[in-house]
Amino acid sequence: MDHIDHQTLLAALAWQVEMGVDEAIGDDPVDRYSAPPPPEPVVQAPPVVQAISAQKLAENEHAQLIANFTAQAHAMAAGCATLPALHDAMQAFDGCTLKQGARNFVFSDGHASARLMIVGEAPGRDEDREGRPFVGRSGQLLDKMLAAIGRDRSSEAPDQGAYITNVMPWRPPANRDPVGEEVAMMRPFLLRHITLAQPDCLLLLGNSAMKTLFEVEQGITAMRGQWREVAGVPAIASFHPAALLRNGLHKKSAWQDLLHIKSRLDKT
């Protein structure tokens, strides 16, 4: 553009201003009659796919966290040589979130020397308040059931006492059933508890106790009254006293289960 003089450039600029030009678009001329270039494709996952991916990632992270806590529980339980050591290890375990909402840690009741060990599900409101298993209405019924076969949790005599614990040492919110990941974390402690107590016989009360230790999917109605082995100890499952309070028709079956317990202990 060296051949265009100064006056011509000024005249061209004045014409552009008069036509409404108020900004410079670019240094290179633009052919307005040519077809525009196709837009470059944008590779981006749809929002729904992104949401699913984020949810899957969160689920995987949660599953890994549960697996880590479960492995920690196995290691802590295996390192306990006495019941007091197990008590302290369980109380110090922070993997189970039920601990955050519970008032008290509920370990056991009765004397560990008893030949009969009873495993329930989880503390309720009364148990959470007192820090002992089976102290509410279901506990009162359990005491009557034990008395019917010559057992008393307060007795120090192995042949007359009963040692009681639960699958979960902390109360679930609103007395709901423990979920799978909570049971998985506490099961190593429960198995160690049985091994250290060394009972001659186990009575599992309710679905949670039965499924946790028998590792079956069937309900208590199908599995009650059947002898199995848990940690080398003969075990039988029966209805939870709370279920008996709701449905008295189960009391006959529960009485039969108690008679099986009494017969086995008498013969041992």
- The residue ranges of the chain whose pLDDT is under 50 are 1
Query: DSSP characters for 72-136?
Result: HHHHHHHT--SHHHHHHHHHH----THHHH-SS----BS-TT-SEEEEES---HHHHHHTSSS-S
Residue 57: which residues within 8 A CB-CB, separation 6 or more? none
For each of the domains in the chain, give its residue range(s) and CATH number, in order of start.
63-267 (3.40.470.10)
Place of tokens 């729904």: 48
pLDDT at 44: 66
211 and 222 in contact (C-beta within 8 Å)?
no
- Residue whose C-alpha is closest to residue 162's, from 197, 209, 110: 110
CA distance 96 to 225: 31
CA distance 205 to 254: 10
pLDDT at 52: 67
Task: For residue range 52-100, list pLDDT tens digits in order.
Answer: 677 777 788 888 999 999 999 999 999 999 999 999 999 999 999 999 9
pLDDT at 21: 73
pLDDT at 49: 61
Tokens of 263: 């017969």
Indicate the length of the chain as a whole number: 268
pTM exceeds cut of 0.75: yes
pLDDT at 216: 92
